[in-house]
Amino acid sequence: MFQLTGKIAVVTGAGSGIGQSVARVFASQGAEVIVLDLNQIAAESTADSIALAGGRADPIACDVGSADQVAEVFGRIERERGRIDILVNNAGIAHVGTIEQTTEAEMDQLYRVNVKGVFLCAQAAVPIMLREGGGVILNMASIASLIGLPDRFAYSMSKGAVLTMTRSIAVDYMKKGIRCNCICPARVHTPFVDQYVARHYAGREAEVMRQLSAYQPIGRMGTSEEVALLALYLCSDEASFVTGQAYPIDGGVLVG
């Protein structure tokens, strides 16, 4: 079950965190993973770790907010591999602040990466998938797309757009062999969280980490591996009856 043998999977933002875990899990299940990241060194590090584990991966630097770069990269993938079976739109950036605390430049950057990036990559992948009879698109949303979160105005805007793009793609292409779903995590413990806490709460790291963990009623943050395993299910043939759905993985936040 959940084998991806022979599949070509593109994972954006795969240089670290959730994207890195998704790339590793997919490769462990037989997929050839195209590791996309803004940072070439980070992409190569993920690809190297996959190769050491016996998997196949190709690192490519790509700014998902650049139409030219996305078109060039996806065109190259199709020329070299002939198809794309799976696209995981994971690349994204965070932001903390209310509407009063959000600048125009910050809003534009959140939109460029979190919304336009998903749009451009999905737009590039869909024609390739259609030519090969179908495929799977999985977008990384957030519980911020399902409920209101304090001090997350711009971030919530971007993830709400990811959710509605997911449903639109699902409706438009479900009869053409393309499934599209999204995952909505609560807080996930990644290197980004450690870096953010260290930068903004120096000397209070342990206290803040306890607070971040306690937000989830289950008492801890999620792990990137847990999200990756949900992604594996949704991108596998075992989920062939699932499309247009938003899957929370939230440690009980929505019911707590």
Q: Of how many residues is the chain composed?
A: 256
CB 85 within 8 A of CB 8: yes
Tally of CB atoms within 10 A around 188: 21
What DSSP designation does 108 have? H
Burial state string for 111-147 with b = 16 or more CB within 10 A and e = fewer than 16: bbbbbbbbbbbbebbbebbeeeeebbbbbbbbbbbbe
Strand partners of residue 88: 11, 138
CA distance 36 to 91: 9
Which of the residues are catalytic? 155
- Yes or no: say if 58 and 11 are a contact pair by the CB < 8 Å rule: no
Alpha-carbon distance 66 to 91, whole Å? 13
Radius of gyration over alpha carbons of the chain, in Å? 18
CA distance 198 to 204: 8
Token pair of 186 as six digits: 């609560």
User: CA-CA distance, 234 to 230, in Å (whole number)?
Assistant: 6
The residues that bridge with 97 in the sheet, in sequence order, are 152
CA 145 to chain centre: 14
